[in-house]
Amino acid sequence: METRIYMKTLIIDGYVDEPACLGVPPYLSPYPRYIAGALRERGIAEKDIHYITIDTLRENPPGAGELTGKADLVIIIAGTTVPGKYLRASPITLGEIETIFRTAHGVKVIGGPIRLGFSGEGGRAAKGTESRINFSGAVLARMDLEAFVYDLFKDGFTGSSAVKLRNPEAVEQRFRTTDEIGRWGLSGAFLIQQHPDYPYCMCELETYRGCGRQVHCSFCTEPFYGASDYRPIDDVISEASALYSHGARYFRIGRQPDLFSYHGKDVGGPVPKPDPVAIERLYRGIRNSAPELSVLHMDNANPITLATYPEESEQILKTIIKYHTAGDVAAFGMESADRAVIEANSLKATSEEVFEAIKLVNRLGAVRGVNGLPEILPGINFVHGLMGESRKTFQLNYDFLKEVLDSGLLLRRINIRQVMAFPGTPMYGRDEAARKHKKLFLDYKERVRKNIDLPMLRRVVPEGTVLRDVMCEVREKGITFGRQLGSYPLLIGIPASLPLRKFTDVTVTGHGMRSITGIPYPLPINAASPNLIRELPGLGKKAADSIIAGVPYIDRDDFLRRVSEGDKLLRFIDI
């Protein structure tokens, strides 16, 4: 008979953003699910495990105080080790952490990527994270938070409702094992139903973490997790199945530095040899266990893997396209096109190798899928402020992107950021280039947005493209902003006030540097506002005014009789 322990626990999700893990809404990282699973294995009942996001706490401060005050165990998950911009969520601040812990009366624990340092202003990591949190009696899990929470509980319960916890200061710091998260991922899957976006939240799935390279990129925090630790394929499939049984329909295989290297074989070189059979088993198993999923995307791919093993990588791409959903992104950590920077920071791939990887993904993935986006495209990450950077670096990066554009290839997104250097990395304390070249960085970034991003976006989603299942998320000054759920979703501005948390199809009508404008598809012409009618593709001002003046239209034939070139608009409207 299972022992039930009566103890109120509160998991506060302050959000995480790491090189190989995202947990900012609508994403739900594995951390809270693993913690919930660890608590369940220790006998805590589901009804006593409460999950809440920092944004929910912000919306109801009195309720936050009541929750934290009554909880026997308060756990905060936090840490952003890469800088990001978010549409409707904001990671927890140090001040908020301090406030929460002051109101908490139970055992207080914090962990996640924050163990590496609290990301401060200007993309720099603040020193002394642990000492700045300990003032209120909280304990920092300096390794894995889920393992720390599990080890807080003393073994050998007798069934008493009185819970005995170890002294948090005396708990051994350790990493969890793949066997443990194999169990905790299943038993903690119920937590998704407490997410404020449920059922429209993306579940980040972990295949492995850590990095098997002997020499690591100078700024990356992934090596702190040790060598590559591959999860058994069946464990990942079972976790997806458990989440699916609790209502999850949106998945991203995102918690790994390089999906193409999952269960890769060490053949003596610097790059593991991909195992296409393992990845086919993974994708086929997820689709069989979650047959009516809405999204299955991936995240990170190492371009050096694709360039070194093009045949195996082609097999993997074919598998991904067979089982995934369209609009997928393989994010390439290129970092720099400057050989001097590549060598000084032990980066992975040369610009020539990245270009070959981009061509490979385009050859197979550029075909347009059912949701209106190409099946799968590469994304590019650039990091500035690295060792060896000079004025020449900016021009080399720009020239590389211009070559990709001029070659007719597609990139789904270009991420340009300044380095965030954490203690323990070779970059820490050596990021003077980020400050030295700040103005140059900003000018270069603007040039990329105008001259590369804008024409690239017009190529990826031309005017008139219909994008399916756009979730309306935010309204501001008469504009509704929405995105398709998935990896690196496009931000779409719709000039109308539409219901939030509802899906709509959208016709693309205009392009910004990193976002697009659209109108509902099909547009109900007789009920649409003049602002929406004016956005119809290929419509000039005079023609738009004429259509507006002619409302209402009896039927399609009436529309064609009274609207010049109405046949070009019929596929975008409804009468």
Tell me the C-alpha distance between 523 and 528, whole Å. Answer: 7
Mean of the per-residue pLDDT values of the chain: 91
Per-residue pLDDT, averaged over 83-106, amounts to: 90
pTM value is 0.93
Residues 6+ apart with CB under 8 A from 405: 452, 455, 456
Q: How high is the pLDDT of residue 54?
A: 96
- 9-170 has CATH 3.40.50 classification: yes
Task: Provide the pLDDT for residue 164.
Answer: 67
pLDDT average, residue stretch 137-158: 85
- Can you give the pLDDT at residue 64? 63
Helix (H, G, I), strand (E, B) or coil at 328: strand
pLDDT of residue 226: 83
Residue 395 scores a pLDDT above 90: yes
201-215, 427-441, 460-474 — which is least confidently predicted?
427-441
- In the predicted structure, residue 159 carries a pLDDT above the cut 70: no
Question: Residue 9 belongs to what H/E stretch?
Answer: strand 9-18
Category of 166 on φ-ψ map: left (φ > 0), alpha (ψ -120 to 50) or beta = beta
The pLDDT tens digits of the residues spanning 232-244 come to: 999 999 999 999 9
pLDDT at 65 > cutoff 80: no
- Where are the chain's structural domains? 9-170, 199-460, 465-568
pLDDT at 123: 45
| Measured distance between the N- and C-terminal CA atoms of the chain, rounded to whole angstroms | 64
Name the DSSP class of 22: E
**Is the confidence at residue 448, as pLDDT, over 90?**
yes
Give the pair of three-digit tokens for residue 242: 């458990």
**Nearest CA to 71 among 42, 97, 46, 104?**
104
Domain pair 9-170 / 199-460, same fold: no
Better pLDDT: 167 or 249: 249
Which tokens sit at 253?
Answer: 């295989």
Quick one: pLDDT band at residue 84, thresholds 50, 70, 90? Answer: confident
For a pLDDT cut of 90, what percent of the chain falls above it? 76
The pLDDT score that the predictor gives to residue 459 is 97
The predicted structure's pLDDT at residue 140: 93
Q: SS3 for 110?
A: strand
The whole-number average pLDDT for the span 47-54 is: 96
- Output the pLDDT for position 76: 97
Q: What confidence score (pLDDT) does residue 169 get?
A: 85
Could you tell me if 525 and 553 are in contact, meaning their C-beta atoms sit under 8 angstroms apart?
yes
Both tokens of 36, joined, read 């919930």
Whether residue 435 has pLDDT greater than 80:
no
CA distances from 291 to 244, 259, 284, 286, 296 (A): 9, 22, 10, 8, 11
- Contact between residue 202 and residue 28 where contact means Cβ atoms under 8 Å apart: yes
CATH number of the 465-568 domain? 2.40.50.140
- pLDDT computed for residue 1 by the predictor: 35
Q: What is the DSSP string of 426-451?
A: TTTT--HHHHHTHHHHHHHHHHHIII
**Is 80 exceeded by the pLDDT of residue 122?**
no
Give the highest mean pLDDT range of 62-66, 83-87, 373-377: 373-377
pLDDT(219) > 90: no
Identify the pLDDT of residue 472. Answer: 97
Residue 426's identity, in one-letter code, is P
**pLDDT the model gives residue 51:** 97
Residue 161 confidence class, pLDDT cut points 50, 70, 90: very low
433: phi then psi, degrees, rounded to nearest 5: -65, -30
Strands 491-494 and 503-511: unpaired
Q: Would you place residue 163 in the very low, low, confident or very high pLDDT band (cuts 50, 70, 90)?
A: low
- Range with the poorest average pLDDT among 31-45, 159-173, 272-286: 159-173
User: What pLDDT shows up at residue 132?
Assistant: 55
| CATH number for the domain running over 199-460 | 3.80.30.20
Percent of the chain with pLDDT over 70: 93
